[in-house]
Amino acid sequence: MTRSMRRTQQSTLAAATTLSVVSVLSACSLPSVLGGNASCSDPVKVNVAVSPEMRDIVHAQAERIAGQVCAAFTVNAEESAATANRTPGKDAPDLWIPDSPLWSLTANQKTTDAYEVEDKPVATSPLVLGVPKSLVDSKKIPTGSVPSAEILSKAAPAFMMAKRDISSPTMMTLLNTWQNAGGRRPDELRAAKVMLPVAASTATDDALYSRAMPGGSGAPVVFPASEVGIAAFNKAHTDTPISALAAKEGVSSLSYLPARASASDERAKKASEELIKALHSEDSVKALKDGGFRVDGQTSVTVPEMPAEVKVTMDAPTANQLRQFGALMQKLSQRVRMLVAIDSSGSMMSPSGYGNSRIELTINALKDALTYIPPNTDVTLWQFANNAKFGAHDWRQLMPSTQVTAADGSLLPGALKMKQSFNSLIDSVGGGTGLYDTIWDAYTTARGTASLDTNTIVVLLTDGRNEDDPNSIGLDNLLSKLKSSRSELQPVKLVLAGLGPQSDMDALRKIAQAANGSATLVDDKTTFLDVIVGSLV
């Protein structure tokens, strides 16, 4: 991809380095308007960092006013995440125009009040999902304004995001998706399905755009993109334009809010103020609109399928939202050790009510769950019935702890091994339900490898109630042992799922409460796949 494309494309936070596009602008033939003892023989040096796609416009305005304010502006095109990591007062800019205030907020969290952030953005650019022409032509992916649920169901297989800590489109899209869930568990689960595959993504925004080009590296994908970025790409690739796909409930937006370094001297601050004013001038506004940016909601550029009215639900996260989301993503990025125990008692061959047996319904959900399992996940697979069937225990191990996803989220051979183990489930259904002993054995087994840096989970699904012999651990004893075994240093999340109304949900809820876990009824509103995904968030 050429350097010029990088400058005009939407913010690509792929590289934490300053681009080699630097201009030093000064003029000392005119009197200073800054006051004091400043003179044009002594221009104030002002370092400016700007998101690459806006660099040329800022450069033009800095060049226009340099003589008027007797300033030497150095304009650096730099990815916003890179600027956020600079040390204020040392190598940070005097004036910074990131593509999102999330970065100035991040910088101010690292160093208190490092930047004074303006109230009015220079420009904005709504964030949508970019759909390459080949995917549009396939008619499998919708475009335009579509409900979130439809986007998740139809676009998810082709969905990909860039690395979140360098990409504004990724971060803002994820923040908005989680905010739109509004604490509603079904919506949070749908949002989690988006977040899980990208928890450890290493892709860059540039790489995702390159997939939309003929002969690009990799198959085309649906990805978060700004209107200005899509417009720049389409201008350079008229034969293979990208179309917009926007959630009807609302989208996030880039917002180019200027930020002045608190540590800058007064002359530099005043020169920065003048440049900010110039960026709101009539000729600057025209240049911004012509470049695909929005000013006061208006742009001069058309992006295919961009909704006429774009509802923006987030353009600037709060500090609390950023903290909460950071904690969530850190959790999703942890290594996962999951023990999955599936009821294979005789009743699991009964009809599920959805056209197949309960065991088949469960296995299909497990296969689907592989799409959403995060990077670095190990899975142990058990089936359980009773000890009359399996001997010493009420369960048998179908697959030992096996890594099923790599560090980049891709499926490993262990995932195929897991799928093959499912055949053993179908072929060996029968017997009673040794529920309580299996829960205790699974919990203690998982606790043996649990640690603070690992997300250790036990997921158990049953369609009935405990039917074990009189020597079973018993409910009261199980509850007591779970309560006394909880450990902050070896945390285990116990997730119980009851399949259908005949499940003993009263007992499952008591057991989950004792272990500080959860118990969910799987029905027409909540699937077993939801339970698997929910166990991770």
344 DSSP assignment: -
C-alpha separations of 321 from 105, 164, 168, 178, 212 in Å: 11, 15, 15, 10, 32
Phi-psi region of 478 (alpha: psi -120 to 50; beta: other; left: phi over 0): alpha
Q: For tokens 């970025």, name the residue.
A: 229
**Contact yes or no for 171/102 (Cβ under 8 A):** yes
Q: Residue 320 class from Cβ within 10 Å (0-12 exposed, 13-18 middle, 19+ buried)? A: exposed
Q: What is the pLDDT of residue 218?
A: 83
- What pLDDT, on a 0 to 100 scale, did the predictor assign at position 338? 94
HSE of 191, CA atoms in CB hemisphere, 13 A: 22
CA distance 38 to 26: 14
In angstroms, rounded to a whole number, what is the distance separating the alpha carbons of residues 30 and 21? 27
34 and 72 Cβ atoms separated by less than 8 Å: no
Q: φ, ψ for residue 256 (rounded to 5)?
A: -90, 80
Q: Are strands 335-343 and 377-384 parallel, antiparallel or unpaired?
A: parallel
Q: Is 278 helix (H, G, I), strand (E, B) or coil?
A: helix
Q: What is the C-alpha to C-alpha distance for residues 459 and 72, in angstroms, rounded to an integer?
A: 63
Strand 259-261, strand 115-117: pairing? antiparallel
Residue 128, sorted as left (phi over 0), alpha (psi -120 to 50) or beta, turns out to be: beta
- pTM for the whole thing? 0.75
Cβ neighbours for 219, distance < 8 A, ≥ 6 positions apart: 211
Given this model, what pLDDT does residue 89 score?
66
Look at residue 82 in the predicted model and tell me its pLDDT: 93
Contact predicate 526/495, CB 8 Å: no
Predicted confidence at residue 388, as pLDDT, reads 67
What is the separation, in whole angstroms, between the first and last Cα of the chain?
37
Q: What is the pLDDT of residue 34?
A: 38
Mean pLDDT of each 10-residue bin along the chain, 537 residues long: 37 32 44 44 93 97 94 95 84 94 93 92 97 94 90 80 90 87 71 69 90 86 96 96 94 96 93 97 97 95 93 91 83 87 89 79 84 85 84 90 85 89 82 92 95 93 83 91 93 92 92 94 79 82
The pLDDT of residue 201:
74
Q: What pLDDT is attached to residue 199? A: 64
